[in-house]
A and B are shown apart, each in its own frame.
Chain A
Amino acid sequence: DAGITQSPRYKITETGRQVTLMCHQTWSHSYMFWYRQDLGHGLRLIYYSAAADITDKGEVPDGYVVSRSKTENFPLTLESATRSQTSVYFCASTGGWDETQYFGPGTRLLVL
């Protein structure tokens, strides 16, 4: 049972480049979420999705784009990376019958 996976696990990029972080879950969960985690801020919600083709902004969506063409995948794209987007990114999912979210292993992103 693969659960929820993220790729890449580590990424170094340069300012201005486009970067896509991948998230894949095998549970057929309806809801998927993207968070960023920074020192002093905890986990902050970037975008979430209630089902395929349904997405909505979270607390810190600026500079990010998401899509969800298939239930199992929820990619996050940084259209033009900035240094302030250096962070650890976590994807999470839940079936929706309760609020328990299950997290992927995270992607550590460094923008130079």
Chain B
Amino acid sequence: EDKVVQSPLSLVVHEGDTVTLNCSYEVTNFRSLLWYKQEKKAPTFLFMLTSSGIEKKSGRLSSILDKKELFSILNITATQTGDSAVYLCAVSLTGTASKLTFGTGTRLQVTL
């Protein structure tokens, strides 16, 4: 059975801290890994990773994939209260009509 596991389940940090969110997967026929941010509404797309070792970066957020060890990390530097959200990791498989399998998410709370 395909599995996507995120850790930690939740964390609380102070504004300005750097955080690292983890996503590990056990799937057959991996194609890509995606990160989404979900505030009190619909998930919004952050990154898609297909190749190992190539960092994707957007502002204070960055992510990297390790296809050998089957995990990805999402880093957020200089956190702000607006970063408070649930961060979702999802994996797509080859030959599966663009379907995604999601982890249960990491809830991040950034306090002043």
Chain A residues close to B by CB (< 8 Å)? 31, 33, 40-45, 48, 50, 56, 58, 90, 94, 96, 98-106
A43 and B88 contact, CB distance less than 8 A: yes
Decide yes or no whether B53 CB sits under 8 A from chain A.
Answer: no
Interface presence of B43 (CB below 8 A): yes
Distance A56 CA – B41 CA, assembled complex (angstroms): 26
Given the known interface contacts A40-B104, A42-B105, the answer about A96 and B98 at a Cβ–Cβ threshold of 8 Å is: yes
Q: How far is the CA of A67 from the CA of B102 in the complex (A)?
A: 24
Chain B nearest CB, measured from A104 CB (Å): 6
- Asked whether B104 lies within 8 Å of A33 as measured between CB atoms, the reply is no
- Known interface pairs A42-B103, A42-B105. Does A31 touch B98 (Cβ–Cβ under 8 Å)? yes
Residues of B at the A interface (CB closer than 8 Å) are 31-32, 34, 41-45, 48, 88, 90, 92, 97-105
A99 to B41, Cβ gap below 8 A?
no
Main secondary structure of the interface of A (DSSP, over half): strand
Residue of A44, A58, A106 near B41 (CB, 8 A) is A106
Cβ contact within 8 Å between A105 and B45: no
Q: A43 contacts which of B31, B44, B98, B102 (Cβ < 8 Å)?
A: B102
CB neighbours of B32 from chain A (8 A): 98-99
Contact B100 A99 (CB under 8 A): yes
List of B residues within 8 angstroms of A105 by Cβ: 41-42
User: Given A42-B103, A99-B100, A101-B98, A90 and B92 touching (CB < 8 A)?
Assistant: no
CB neighbours (8 Å) of A106 from chain B are 41-42
How many angstroms between the C-alpha atoms of A44 and B101 in the bound complex?
A: 8
Contact between A104 and B98, CB atoms less than 8 A apart? no
Cβ 8 A contact of B104, one of A42, A56, A96, A102 = A42
Chain B: CB-nearest residue to A50: B97
A45 CA / B4 CA spacing, docked (Å): 14
Q: A33-B99, A42-B105, A43-B90 are in contact. List 7 more A-B contacts (CB 8 A).
A: A42-B104, A43-B43, A44-B102, A58-B99, A90-B43, A99-B92, A106-B42
Contact of B48 among A33, A50, A99 (CB under 8 A): A99
